[in-house]
Chain A
């Protein structure tokens, strides 16, 4: 089955882990933890490039590992696992809505908002603000190569929000008219850098240069704990056919194509990150990591590591 969207991928995996916990016939805590860890590893392999999936697994396994020391029976630790899974699924279910409510407070009447790509969290902020009666307008970039910006423009127009679609190249041209840049996140690193759809860093640079605020809407499971132990976020490159068809490319002669999907925006271009737990400055990313995942050991981090990011 195909599951899309960071939240749904992670919560599907966690639900699967919960089923393993519930059905476990383990006699003692050690056996239970071993069974669960094995299942966790299999689940990780189903989507090796997602950031939220290992975060979901980590969320559950970290709580199980902590309980394991004190737990006296398999039944006791089983309850911990089931509850942790429920909590995580609830988190993914409500995060976008919470972000919408918190973020909407940052939108003012008469604002001009610019967004890039198609982010559920960013859309939630805008539609919530609109429902609250705030009047503002939006510039949406088309977002090459796959034009997710058109989806954003559709969604906003459907909600009744005035929206203008522009080229990615035209961001700088229109930036002087903009009050707020609002974008989503594919991942956020320990130092508050943003990994998001390619082009985001140029949007943020253009904003930064003319003192336009840059807000990032990001669920807490988008924060990448492995960057805490120095892991680099590798930027995936996708198939050239997203940019130019094989036939058209053939007509150009010997031309290479490179198609990175994401880029890195440094924390100094970001004013704040809107999470479901509240608003933090980018350098507060560590706080979120610790709150959500506790203090993960390097072993825990390595065990459920991600190497690449592969979500839209």
Chain B
């Protein structure tokens, strides 16, 4: 497909379609898929020079970033890979070598992301006591890993899972946890307040963590955190350090994507005479979060700035 003057790779278009149509769950899953698409697309490039190849890559990377602007692991991973490729190009590498660098760099990031989730599961599971009732919202690979780990440690967590309108990814969470033998109860998003008093902890993932410790996550998260705070129920956010957003340090706002009305209305056409707005994410302020569980340990949200500052390729200047 020709987007403007530049070619967007077919594999990239396909993964973007998947993100949209097949409703890919969670930032981690999206990041893995995007890296894979970029990797295989780059192998098929017809670019004759490294300069042309780099230009192609940059366009494709920008395209991917725009599709899921709130997904920081996605943009961080793409930035990570692009830096490696750029560096190699600066040293005079040819297309063939650059493809190699890209492949290795993407694999490397993939592996680090996977490792981070294993680490988060270990660290997060320590926070779960035997018999805890945990409430969760939307699909988070990290939260699922923590709950599975706690269950393997015989802590018998019970879990309330919100269905998570409009895309209902809570059902996927329920299925994955139930398959492990975890006691799962599915509720509607509106019933959070009703069940918060039966819950010991709220555990959520994050699409992005801002420099001030605020968390961007699936719409509804901010409400759950606020309800939990009022009920003195602890709120834990599980997020690998790849989800921390360096741009927010420079004052950039994280853009909240609004999705199509059809997610909300289904395919009912006769409902089309009023407006629908469908923001996909919301922002939970740091004061409604007790802890962020990262692969490098547990931090208070106010310490997010430390993680952001340590990130590769970020400087305020």
Contacts and interface: CB of A to CB of B under 8 A. Distances in A.
Interface of A: 142-145, 150, 153-154, 156-157, 162-174, 197-199, 201-202, 205-206, 209, 235, 243-244, 248, 251-260, 263
A252 B222 contact: no
A246 to B, nearest CB: 13
B276 A164 contact: yes
B174 A255 contact: yes
Given A144-B188, A263-B191, A255 B165 contact: no
Interface in B156-197: 163-166, 171, 174-175, 178-179, 183-195
A251 B174 CA distance: 11
B292 to A, nearest CB: 20
A256 B184 contact: yes
B226 interface: yes
A167 B279 CA distance: 9
A125 B191 CA distance: 27
Contacts of B264: 142, 165-167
Contacts of A235: 194
Given A170-B219, A252-B178, A164 B275 contact: yes
Interface size class for chain B?
35 or more
Interface in B272-304: 273-279, 282
Contacts of A174: 277
A166 B282 CA distance: 13
11 contacts: A164-B274, A166-B264, A168-B220, A169-B189, A170-B278, A171-B223, A209-B226, A244-B171, A244-B186, A255-B186, A256-B185
A172 B187 contact: no
A120 B279 CA distance: 28
Contacts of A171: 223
A153 B274 contact: yes
Interface of B: 163-166, 171, 174-175, 178-179, 183-195, 218-220, 222-223, 226-227, 230, 256, 264-265, 271, 273-279, 282
Contact of B220 (A165, A167, A253): A167
A199 B162 CA distance: 13
A142 B261 CA distance: 12
Nearest to B268: A150
A165 to B, nearest CB: 5
By CB atoms of chain A within 10 A, which of B188, B218, B265 has the most?
A: B188
Contacts of A142: 165, 264
A253 B175 contact: yes
A202 B192 contact: yes
B193 A255 contact: no
B276 A205 contact: no
Contacts of B275: 162-165
B185 A252 contact: no
Nearest to A209: B226
Contacts of B282: 169-170, 172-173
